[in-house]
Structure 1
Amino acid sequence: MRNLILALAAATALAMPAKAQDVTVAVTAIVEHPALDAARDGIKEALSEAGYKEGENLTFLYESAQGNPGTAAQIARQFVGEEPTVIVPISTPSAQAVVSATRDIAIVFTAVSDPLGAQLVKDMDKPGGNVTGISDMSPVADHIALIKEITPDAKSVGFVYNTAEANSVSTLAALKEEAAKAGLEVIESVATKSAEVQGATRALVGRADVLYIPTDNTIVSAFEAAVGVAEEAKLPLFAGDTDSVARGALAALGFNYFDVGKQTGEVVVRVLKGEAPGDIPVKVAAGTDLVINKKAAEKMGVTFSDAVLSRATRIVE
């Protein structure tokens, strides 16, 4: 009888799905704003769908550097000291801080435009070491095409960015190349902290025909300041991320950052299940949504064509 009970117990155990082991995932972002917050939430959703649930078998840590690179470095060292299973830095500055802090703990970065330029990995297909992740390299050729379609008379594009953000420097280079093909001039204006965004945007009034705000964490964290200047000057403002459209941008063609987070979370799950980060290729996030803002268009003196309206994934009224 005892052998029968043991056999039945063993059979039952084999029939039950394996429970995900207890893990700790530590997530950090350079600053809090809708796109990065959505990425964080997408990561958590992907973990949950894979059976890693907070309060059960998952400890989910989160820290924001509040826009301060020095704080990002402190958070990186703190996380390394806590020895989580995986660290997930969101944004280039946070990823650079974490990669500099450890070569032992698995790292899966996300929302990094140029992983090679930021020196996070040496090869996208074979990153090696303890690092892999998801890139959100902006489809700048499509952005230029959208600017030309919505504002065909534009001759110049104002670009507000922080020179300390490697992703923005890479985006600027790509934007200049594509803009030149379309006969557009790119005019730069720099803000090194969020308090400077309004002034940097105002410096482009009268010099640029449209504004383009890239996925620059410093600028996006103070996005409303740029929007206020654009509305006052009736200067069409385009964004590099779709989450900024609801905050007042005219239009954006880009990623749904919750989906980017989910794609990142799926890579984290692969690492949790035993794959080495260095063996997982760095991928560019999938998906581009067109989001437009009718109220912003009215304030900025723009009328959307039927073609743009029909293609829009989402319309902010």
Structure 2
Amino acid sequence: MKKFAKKIAAVALSVAMVGGMFAGCSAASNGDDAKTSNKKTSYKIGICQLLQHDALDAATKGFEDKLKELGEADGITFEFDYQNASNDSANCTTIANKFVSSGYDLIMANATPALQACATVTAASQTPVVATSVTDYAAALDIDMGPTDATGINVTGTSDLAPLDKQADQIMELFPETKKVGVIFCSAETNSKPQADGVKKALEAKGVTCEYYAFSDSNDISAVAKKAASEVDVIYIPTDNTAASNGAVIDDACSHANVPIIAGEEGIFKNTKAVATLSISYYTLGQTTAQMAYDILVNGKNPAEMNIQQTDDLTYKYNPDQAKKFGVTIPDGYEAVTEEATTEE
């Protein structure tokens, strides 16, 4: 473990030492409580979502729908408290503290800053946390672990990492004459740089130059996007919450420069009017997260020992208007998404 995990462990240790003083006199009652807890038929779950946009919303919906489905089959009900942090990490901490003080049975953290806040806040209470829409748990929690390993703490969940090599292949399949690709992402988002690195490695193996164009916050996006669009053949945007929330700004810069966009996930694809995307299903990802939550609450699994899960539910999508604009021949297997449908959603 590194700094973040050590911080969590230190808080938890202080609580454990105090709790240990009373362990001897309460062992019998704890055993009875454990038996009773296994018979619970109602659970309260707090949902801390970083901000509202298509991908995160789909993950939350999948999570709620699947838990309701699982609960109905076994006569168990789930009460959800959904809170939107408005893209503010401090709000994530406030929300997580509320969930813990209210004694919720489990917290679902949607996006990396939400995960980080919930992991820190629950270190003492050991409230189970399941996260989703997180690309790299090792980077997010500063823990030495593999992409699908267990965290070793009270946190588990699902990863939204798409196959970066296949996304690089997509860029070159649609734009075979590409010499230089620009990757636009937010430097403040922990998960974005590893994705950029993966795509860059795959592109450079094909002899294509790949340059980073990072912005620190939404105030910088317009200038960075304009610079990128003026210097490259194709823009690639990884899964990035800030970019997704400011898709219209990036679209404006690229449209004026007549540069196509390939998106790392469906929400960015829609918001930037990208030509195409190879995206995971965030709804399915939310469903997988729900099954993990159910296993913890109902089946007694320990989140510290549960491996991070990924999804292989991948979809190739394209925007017919943008494909026509850039003269792109779309291969078989792509699903068309019109701009009219995107606007309606």
TM bucket, shorter chain: 0.7 to 0.9
Higher helix share: 2
**C-alpha separation between the residues in 1 aligned to 2:158 and 2:143?**
12
**C-alpha separation between the residues in 2 aligned to 1:245 and 1:19?**
45
- State yes or no: 1:127 paired with 2:151: yes
Q: 2:294 aligns with which of 264, 269, 272?
A: 269
CA offsets per residue over residues 154-201 of structure 1, 9 Å max, x none? 111111111111100211221221121111222222222234322221
The answer as to whether partners of 1:31 and 1:66 remain within 8 angstroms in 2 is yes
* 1:92-103 correspondence to structure 2 within 5 Å: 92-103=112-123
Q: Report SS of the residue matched to 1:161.
A: strand
Residue 146 of structure 1 aligns to which amino acid in structure 2? Answer: Q
- In the other structure, the counterpart of 2:252 is 228
CA offsets per residue over residues 64-110 of structure 1, 9 Å max, x none? 22122222222222222222111111111111111111121001111
The answer as to whether partners of 1:91 and 1:110 remain within 8 angstroms in 2 is yes
- In the other structure, the counterpart of 1:11 is none
* 1:121-160 correspondence to structure 2 within 5 Å: 122-123=144-145, 124-160=148-184
Residue 97 of structure 2 aligns to which amino acid in structure 1? Answer: R
- In the other structure, the counterpart of 1:179 is 203
Q: Report SS of the residue matched to 1:283.
A: coil
Q: How much has 1:120 moved relative to structure 2?
A: 6.1
* 1:1-317 correspondence to structure 2 within 5 Å: 21-51=41-71, 57-103=77-123, 104-119=126-141, 122-123=144-145, 124-247=148-271, 248-273=273-298, 274-299=300-325, 301-305=326-330, 308=331, 310-316=332-338
RMSD: 2.1
- Report the CA distance shift for 1:211/1:316 in structure 2 as closer, same or farther (over 3 A): same
**C-alpha separation between the residues in 1 aligned to 2:283 and 2:329?**
27
**C-alpha separation between the residues in 2 aligned to 1:36 and 1:212?**
20
Q: Report SS of the residue matched to 1:206.
A: helix
Q: How much has 1:52 moved relative to structure 2?
A: 5.7
Seq. identity, %: 27
**C-alpha separation between the residues in 2 aligned to 1:271 and 1:155?**
49
**C-alpha separation between the residues in 2 aligned to 1:279 and 1:164?**
29
Gaps of 5+ in 1: 1-17
- Report the CA distance shift for 1:174/1:194 in structure 2 as closer, same or farther (over 3 A): same
- Report the CA distance shift for 1:195/1:238 in structure 2 as closer, same or farther (over 3 A): same
The answer as to whether partners of 2:49 and 2:56 remain within 8 angstroms in 1 is yes
**C-alpha separation between the residues in 2 aligned to 1:97 and 1:35?**
20
Q: How much has 1:147 moved relative to structure 2?
A: 0.2
The answer as to whether partners of 2:239 and 2:268 remain within 8 angstroms in 1 is no
Gaps of 5+ in 2: 1-37, 340-345
The answer as to whether partners of 1:197 and 1:226 remain within 8 angstroms in 2 is yes
- Report the CA distance shift for 1:126/1:190 in structure 2 as closer, same or farther (over 3 A): closer
Normalising by structure 2, we get a TM-score of 0.80
Q: Report SS of the residue matched to 1:284.
A: coil
Q: Report SS of the residue matched to 1:166.
A: coil
The answer as to whether partners of 1:26 and 1:84 remain within 8 angstroms in 2 is yes
Q: How much has 1:135 moved relative to structure 2?
A: 0.7
The answer as to whether partners of 2:285 and 2:310 remain within 8 angstroms in 1 is no
- Report the CA distance shift for 1:101/1:167 in structure 2 as closer, same or farther (over 3 A): same
Residue 62 of structure 1 aligns to which amino acid in structure 2? Answer: Y
**C-alpha separation between the residues in 1 aligned to 2:297 and 2:40?**
9
**C-alpha separation between the residues in 1 aligned to 2:263 and 2:111?**
17
Q: How many pairs align?
A: 294
- In the other structure, the counterpart of 1:4 is none
Q: Report SS of the residue matched to 1:189.
A: strand
- Report the CA distance shift for 1:172/1:155 in structure 2 as closer, same or farther (over 3 A): same
**C-alpha separation between the residues in 1 aligned to 2:41 and 2:143?**
29
Q: How much has 1:291 moved relative to structure 2?
A: 0.6
The answer as to whether partners of 1:246 and 1:316 remain within 8 angstroms in 2 is no
Q: How much has 1:212 moved relative to structure 2?
A: 0.8
The answer as to whether partners of 1:52 and 1:58 remain within 8 angstroms in 2 is no
The answer as to whether partners of 2:100 and 2:122 remain within 8 angstroms in 1 is yes
**C-alpha separation between the residues in 1 aligned to 2:40 and 2:265?**
34
